[in-house]
Amino acid sequence: MLSNSERSVLGVFRKFRVSAGEMLCFYGPNHKKHRPALRQLMAKEMVVEERFSGGYSLTQSGFAAMKSCE
């Protein structure tokens, strides 16, 4: 089960049409706003934090969850 904040983050990935393994950068206020949900998604192994500051990639399960939230 996903929280509303986790769905919101997946909505950002969907907005930019990100696929599994592709990186999306969150920055500034957008990063601060979504950071707690991104951590929750990392704990659920749906998102991977990249070395690039603010960069995150969807895993296969995160991509599937994003698609199911449409």
Tell me the backbone φ, ψ of residue 36, rounded to 5 degrees. -60, -40
In the three-class reduction of DSSP (H, G, I as helix; E, B as strand; rest coil), residue 55 is classed as strand
Which residue reads 């991104």 in tokens?
38
CA dist list (Å): 54 to 20, 28, 29, 68: 17, 9, 11, 25
- Give the domains, in start order, of the chain with CATH numbers: 4-68 (1.10.10.10)
pLDDT in tens, the chain (70 residues): 899 999 999 999 999 999 999 999 999 999 999 999 999 999 999 999 999 999 999 999 999 999 998 7
Q: What is the pTM of this model?
A: 0.92
Which residue reads 């206020």 in tokens?
29
Q: Which of 40, 29, 34, 39 is nearest to 11 (CA)?
A: 34
